[in-house]
Amino acid sequence: MISFKVSDMEKQVADLIHGMAKDIMRPIARYYDEHEHQRPTELEPFRVIMQAGGMGTGRKKKSGEKKEIKVTDDKIGANAMSITGAEELAWGDVGLMLALPGQGLGNAAISAVATDEQYERFGSKYAAMAITEPGCGSDASAVSTTAVLDGDEYVLNGEKIFVTDGDRCEVVVVWATLDKSKGRNAIKSFVVEKGTPGLTVGKLEHKCGIRASDTAVLIFQDCRIPKTNILGDPEIRPEGGFKGVMATFDATRPLVGALALGCARAAYEFTKEALAKEGIEIRYDKPLVKLSAIEKDMLWMEAQLEMMRVIIQKAAWMADNGRPNNLEASMAKAKGGKAGNLIVQKCVEILGPIGYSQRYLLEKWMRDNKVNDIYEGTQQIQMLVIARRILGYGRDMLA
């Protein structure tokens, strides 16, 4: 049975990371918002933490055993720990969280799909994830980057866009098709090391928010990689091949929900403190009809934050306990993305000019949080996944 009790270990981890987010991230957040594409060297102390836990969620050890962290009813699993850390880091700053060195979204893919031998080689490398192309985003099965086997090597050709960590990473996990005519089951993921001839970084995006995080165009032109760098099963199976690569999202979507939760919580706490300075306190002991409009707004936000946390924790708990969590992962992402944005916007609205001014970070959090409802599948795509799962419809019936 799932338990929402916060264990001592989770609390200790959350407190430690919260302290680092407060002392290291917050003071530099505005600087890197204004100096897009500059690498935040102050984040180096986080590298060790990221490599110890990071995005390598729920990875089994060679023996087939789970990581040392025990899964109990207190939900101390690797996924639960990751979302706890992600929330605190995003409370510090979402852009800087994404810019943390050591681990990126690609590590979740390596963790989910790599063989033991591949995990040994790539598990601790800083990995970006390249799926999106100029002609393919929401429909990941439309990938047209190609991978052709030539002797002991695959030859990659294609262009990937909006790759988080694309410039700063050490390796890129690239989705490519072995044979476009065979559809989605021919799509596989490949690990490409930076510096491999044929891989170049194109332009870096200028963005509305999360400016501390680099978002790059990657070009693959006759890029040759060892054939052992294909992740998972190299064969094109008539059924289920695509599910392997899609499993990555079941680990990363709750994490993105946790980023939205951390950012929205930061906005809520800032607003509550600003109101308190003006003598406006929330009266928890009064019935709703006696409360002011602002008090009601604040209580609504608290309820939203709790709803986000419960579904995100559930999705992580299910992953930690070996249960399929595709539905809950999408729910966590959908709820996190939508409620997170409503909360930061409401906070800006309540504080008016204080919320909009660059004197404070609230306006930045509003810009930063927007992306949590876009990448790793937009709000609409999560709704599609959720509807399909609940109704038992396939892609052919609901697209």
Among 3, 12, 38, 138, binds ligand FAD (CB under 6 A): 138
Mind spelling out the 3-state secondary structure of the chain? CCCCCCCHHHHHHHHHHHHHHHHHHHHHHHHHHHCCCCCCHHHHHHHHHHHHCCCCCCCCCCCCCCCCCCCCCCCCCHHHHHHHHHHHHHHHCHHHHHCCCCCCHHHHHHHHHCCHHHHHHHCCCCEEEECCECCECCCHHHCCCEEEEECCEEEEEEEEEEEECCCCCCEEEEEEECCHHHHHHHEEEEEEECCCCCEEEEEECCCCCCCCCCEEEEEEEEEEEEHHHEECCCCCCCCCHHHHHHHHHHHHHHHHHHHHHHHHHHHHHHHHHHHHHCCCCCCCCCCHHHCCHHHHHHHHHHHHHHHHHHHHHHHHHHHHCCCCCHHHHHHHHHHHHHHHHHHHHHHHHHHCHHHHCCCCCHHHHHHHHHHHHCCCCCHHHHHHHHHHHHHCCCCCCCC
107 binds ligand FAD (CB under 6 A): no
- Closer by beta carbon to ligand FAD, 206 or else 290: 206
Taking CB under 6 A as the criterion, which residues in 152-181 touch ligand FAD?
A: 162-164
The distance of closest approach from Cβ of residue 324 to ligand FAD in the complex, given in angstroms and rounded to an integer, is: 22
Interface pick for ligand FAD out of 90, 105, 316, 350 (rule CB under 6 A): 105
When binding is defined by CB under 6 A, the residue of 57, 132, 304, 372 that contacts ligand FAD is: 132
From 184-192, 225-233, 346-354, 380-388, give the range in contact with ligand FAD by CB under 6 A.
380-388
Backbone angles phi, psi at 128, to 5 degrees: -90, 170
Specify the residue, 158 or 377, whose C-beta has the smaller distance to ligand FAD.
377
Please report whether residue 192 would count as binding ligand FAD according to CB under 6 A.
no
Which residue's CB atom is positioned nearest to ligand FAD? 137
CB of 399 to ligand FAD, least distance (A): 6
d(CA 52, CA 82): 10
| Residue in 137, 183, 198, 232 binding ligand FAD, rule: CB under 6 A | 137
Q: Does 220 bind ligand FAD (CB under 6 A)?
A: no
Side-chain half-sphere of 217: how many Cα atoms within 13 Å? 10
Given the rule CB under 6 A, which of 2-10, 74-82, 124-132, 294-302 is the region that contacts ligand FAD? 124-132
129 scored as a contact of ligand FAD (CB under 6 A) = yes
Of the residues 170, 295, 328, 376, which is catalytic?
Answer: 376
Q: Does 207 bind ligand FAD (CB under 6 A)?
A: yes
Say whether residue 55 binds ligand FAD (CB under 6 A): no
The residue within the footprint of ligand FAD, chosen from 258, 371, 385, 386 (CB under 6 A), is: 371
With contacts defined by CB under 6 A, how many residues of the chain interact with ligand FAD? 22
Q: Where does this chain touch ligand FAD (CB under 6 A) — which range of 4-12, 32-40, 70-78, 207-215?
A: 207-215
Distance of CA 56 to the CA centre of its chain: 12
376 is catalytic: yes
Question: Quick one: 107 or 304, whose CB is closer to ligand FAD?
Answer: 107
Judged by CB under 6 A, the stretch of 18-26, 83-91, 113-121, 125-133 that binds ligand FAD is 125-133
Q: Which residues form the interface with ligand FAD (CB under 6 A)? A: 105, 129-132, 137-138, 162-164, 207, 210, 215, 371, 374-375, 377-378, 380-381, 384, 399
Residues noted as catalytic: 376
